[in-house]
Structure 1
């Protein structure tokens, strides 16, 4: 969670919340993280990037706003950082080598080939459609995964997973999604872009 205000003061940066927060499903609590350098209040936007970072931008842009923020900050959650605080490189992240189909329909099964022997979970994250600081289109759809095969090639060990898009079209809405794989430590891959089509 980024941006917003402790108390609403429309068209102002007063009472802006600078610290990011991360929800933990394990503890049921929010953890306070690093702070942004610029207030992100009215007309601000936060977008999930393919590499798991969050692009935070905007704020202001109205006739009565005292300040406009036509700039961008990029936030890296702690699970994307190594012990030195640097962004994880490829070797510290799961690798989606290939996806059997980039256009999917509700109920469809598809294959994902992952590098390495690790256990993975998978999720689809719908691309944003935001306005006035609200992303009404955000959704994360966990996918059931089964190991369909293993092997070795010139790039090393790989595992093939069988994934299924949920049957209900009210859950798997048509549109464009990021497909992420997460390892046992919760570190996400760089996403592949897939589409769910009207079926």
Structure 2
């Protein structure tokens, strides 16, 4: 990373990049000292970090970040020690660059119009219909975050098999230790890397 930090939040995004925000360069719980206001985006494929637009609110100990079904990131909280003067009872939404076109306007997004099943088991195949051609898909588990840590976070890249006009199938991994039971967000992405709004899929035993 460009900025050393502790007490920060990291969120895996539908395309496999990781959004990193908040924290302090020197960690002191319940204080806003030495804040890191510049988020970063990590591209694990290129093994590079990219600085993002600076934040205006300090997010440190007790803050959290969560991926939302519309592929934006909820980022809020911090402090929360009762009488602390550094309590942050607010939140913000980060809109990743993949939701904008080269002119800085909101990009046209693909849409998942239907899925063949919303409750699936490991190894099951799902058929989905989109409104336009897509090139990638992924499952991202709904997160549970506290104290800047998301202990339930994971992303599974899926292989798209074309079945017809804007019709595709994807197969849930056949390992329950990979596709854990619970709720997941199913995303598709077009050639430009723009993600859809997610459909919710429940993996059951």
Distance 1:86 1:119 in 2: 20
Q: Secondary structure at the match of 2:98?
A: helix
Deviations 1:23-66 (A, max 9, x none): 11342111000121111101101111111111111001014743
1:106 correspondence with 2:125: no
Superposed, 1:88-107 pairs within 5 Å as 88=107, 92-107=108-123
Per the alignment, residue 127 of structure 1 pairs with 142
- Say if 1:76 and 1:87, in contact at 8 Å, map to a contact too: no
Distance 2:184 2:50 in 1: 27
- Pairwise CA distance, 1:11: 1.4
- CA RMSD between the two structures: 1.4
Per the alignment, residue 75 of structure 1 pairs with 94
What TM-score, normalized by structure 1, do the two folds share? Answer: 0.88
After TM superposition, the structure 1 stretch with the greater mean CA deviation from structure 2, 63-72 or 29-38, is: 63-72
Per the alignment, residue 19 of structure 1 pairs with 38
Distance 2:139 2:48 in 1: 23
1:194 correspondence with 2:201: yes
Distance 1:149 1:84 in 2: 32
Extract structure 1 runs of 4+ deviating beyond 4 A. none
- Say if 1:36 and 1:73, in contact at 8 Å, map to a contact too: no
What TM-score, normalized by structure 2, do the two folds share? Answer: 0.86
- Say if 1:122 and 1:182, in contact at 8 Å, map to a contact too: yes
Distance 2:143 2:91 in 1: 17
1:42 correspondence with 2:42: no
Distance 2:190 2:92 in 1: 26
- Say if 2:161 and 2:168, in contact at 8 Å, map to a contact too: yes
Deviations 1:163-192 (A, max 9, x none): 100000000000111100011121110111
**Which one has the largest radius of gyration?**
1
Q: Which has the higher strand share?
A: 1
Distance 1:55 1:81 in 2: 18
Distance 1:86 1:18 in 2: 24
Distance 1:196 1:110 in 2: 12
